[in-house]
Amino acid sequence: MPDDRTIPPLAEADRKRLDDLYHSLQVENGRILGYPCNGAFDYSPLYRFLAFPANNVGDPYLPSNYHLNTHELERELIATFATLTHAPEAHWGYVTSGGTEGNMYGIFLARELYPEGIVYHSEDTHYSVNKILRALHVRNIMIRSRPDGTIDLEDLEETIRIHRDVPPLIFANVGTTMKGAVDDLAGIHRILKRRAIQSYYIHADAALSGMILPFVDGAPPWDFQAPVDSISISGHKMIGCPFPCGVALARKANVERIARRVEYIGSLDTTIAGSRNAFAPLFLWYALKTVGLDGYRRRVRECFGVADYAVGRLTAAGCHAWRHPYSNTVVFDRPAEAVVRKWQLAVNDGIAHLIAMPHVTRAHVDQLVVDLRERP
């Protein structure tokens, strides 16, 4: 370790900047209603691990030349997610930097399996997907969305019919960004069967809903039982984490197609990133061990209770609020810009939404309604 005496102290002005930043984050942390991050966590018992330059480079299922890693915990974490998503026995996964990387991984696998394929995605798909498609140079067609945010199956079927000679690579939304909608995977499979399509790939973007739907009775089909070929789930959303992270899960046979041996790291290169955050698996593992799956089931139920409360209060305030029965995303009329900024609401055209995450309370909803009435 370096001798602390060789590190000069931070200048007074810089210390003040950090203090001011901390105070600002404290204030804003109490007003996060529009984005799906969970602020209800305490990882202080893990702070001691920040003393190490840990790195999860390489495949989490293989040894690496770099021994300061958390691969063992990463494997345990993936096993838990495999259970939650009904993954086949021959599955594979890793901890990502977040939903965008997980979605890129799914599209990458699809492209490698069917290089000539066309990606079909709806209007309500997350904005990052267009960027991924450009980066990977994958042919793609946007499909209309229905008013509730789900993909328009009639438009999808007609478009697939026109391009029937090309394998469809379906990008399915399992909880759309603005409306929390889950695409009709059963309907998508009916289309593929009706059109006698044998070669296809389905990736599920379950960034937020991947840690909600496993705990919802009567949830729509969404996981490997649907079935899909790969899934991306965020870790900093329903689980909660001080930095973005996520999990990518896929069928092992498809991953083996892209694996490359790298002597430098003494492992297989099977992920998008080279060096990977070793603290993300540690933090997510800790959360699942302390809160537990039953704890997250309770949290989802509590979040739905707050979401129903928000629908009632916003409707009473004349805001035309609604939500899908399997989602904690509450959609309502777009308010004044001052309200949007104060509560960090997500907006698109004429709508806004709040997301009832574990840190969001009925008191937050009440204060939002007061502000809406003051600034209609």
Q: Active-site residue numbers? A: 327
- Nearby residues of 220 by Cβ (< 8 Å), 6 or more positions away: 182, 184, 185, 186, 213, 326
* Beta bridge mates, 119: 140, 169
Q: How far apart are CA 100 and CA 181, in angstroms?
A: 18
- Terminal CA-CA length for the chain: 58
Determine how β-strand 346-348 pairs with β-strand 351-355: antiparallel
Helices (H), 195-278: 252-256
| Residue whose token pair is 């698109």 | 348
Tokens 């990008």 belong to residue: 171
The 3-state secondary structure of 38-60, one letter per residue:
CCCCCCHHHHHHHHCCCCCCCCC
Report the helix count and the strand count for the chain, using DSSP H and E.
10, 12
DSSP H helices, the chain, are 12-29, 71-84, 99-113, 128-136, 153-162, 185-194, 252-256, 279-316, 337-343, 362-374
Do the Cβ atoms of 271 and 56 come closer than 8 Å?
no
Query: How distant is the alpha carbon of residue 326 from its chain centre?
Result: 16
